[in-house]
């Protein structure tokens, strides 16, 4: 196969306010956690639920402005980017971290309304 695609799409609720950090040259990276929830019934008919947390990191400065101005903990958002795995050193232990990355010139962020926040 000559071409491949690395695209990740997540629709979920933010678990924290976006966190910005300076990465040099006047650019920033914004990080936020997004939770998705899966529900199903097991073979006994009992309802089961699983929450998965996704780490999202944006290097896209236009998207970062929207994150910083309009996104807060508990907001419903959709993000589209690429899956990337990197190694970090945590307390002397190397760990692999997988993130959804919105690169400098790509990626999408969509802010979605929440019924409990819409005007009546």
pLDDT of residue 115: 67
CA distance 110 to 112: 6
CA-CA distance, 45 to 106, in Å (whole number)? 43
The mean pLDDT value for 10-14 works out to 97
Q: Span 33-41, mean pLDDT?
A: 95
Does 1.20.58.1030 match the CATH number of domain 9-112?
Answer: no
Is the pLDDT at 2 greater than 80, yes or no? no
The pLDDT assigned to 117 comes to 56
Considering the chain, what percentage of its residues have pLDDT values greater than 70?
93
β-pairing, 108-112 vs 27-41, is unpaired
Phi first, then psi: give them for residue 117, nearest 5 degrees: -120, -5
Q: Where are the domains of the chain?
A: 9-112
pLDDT in tens, 49-86: 999 999 999 999 999 999 999 999 999 999 999 999 99
Phi, psi values for residue 70, rounded to 5°? -125, -10
CA end-to-end span of the chain? 53
Please tell me whether residue 117 adopts helix, strand or coil conformation: helix
- Looking at the predicted structure, is the pLDDT value of residue 19 above 80? yes
Helix (H) or strand (E) holding 31: strand 27-41
Least confident residue range of 25-29, 76-80, 96-100, 114-118: 114-118
Q: What average pLDDT does range 34-58 have in this prediction?
A: 95
Q: Is the pLDDT of residue 96 over 70?
A: yes
DSSP 50-71: EEEEEEEEE--HHHHHHHHHH-
Q: With beta carbons less than 8 A apart as the criterion, state whether 14 and 83 touch.
A: no
């Amino acid at each position: 196969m000559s071409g491949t695609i690395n695209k990740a799409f997540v629709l979920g609720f933010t678990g924290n306010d976006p966190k910005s950090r300076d990465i040099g040259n006047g650019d920033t990276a914004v990080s936020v956690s997004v939770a998705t929830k899966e529900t199903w019934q097991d073979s006994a008919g009992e309802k089961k639920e699983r929450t998965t947390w996704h780490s999202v990191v944006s290097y896209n400065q236009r998207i970062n402005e929207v994150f910083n101005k309009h996104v807060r903990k508990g907001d419903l958002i959709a993000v589209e980017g690429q899956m990337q795995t990197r190694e970090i050193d945590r307390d002397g232990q190397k760990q692999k971290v997988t993130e959804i990355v919105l690169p400098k010139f790509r990626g999408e962020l969509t802010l979605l309304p929440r019924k409990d926040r819409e005007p009546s």
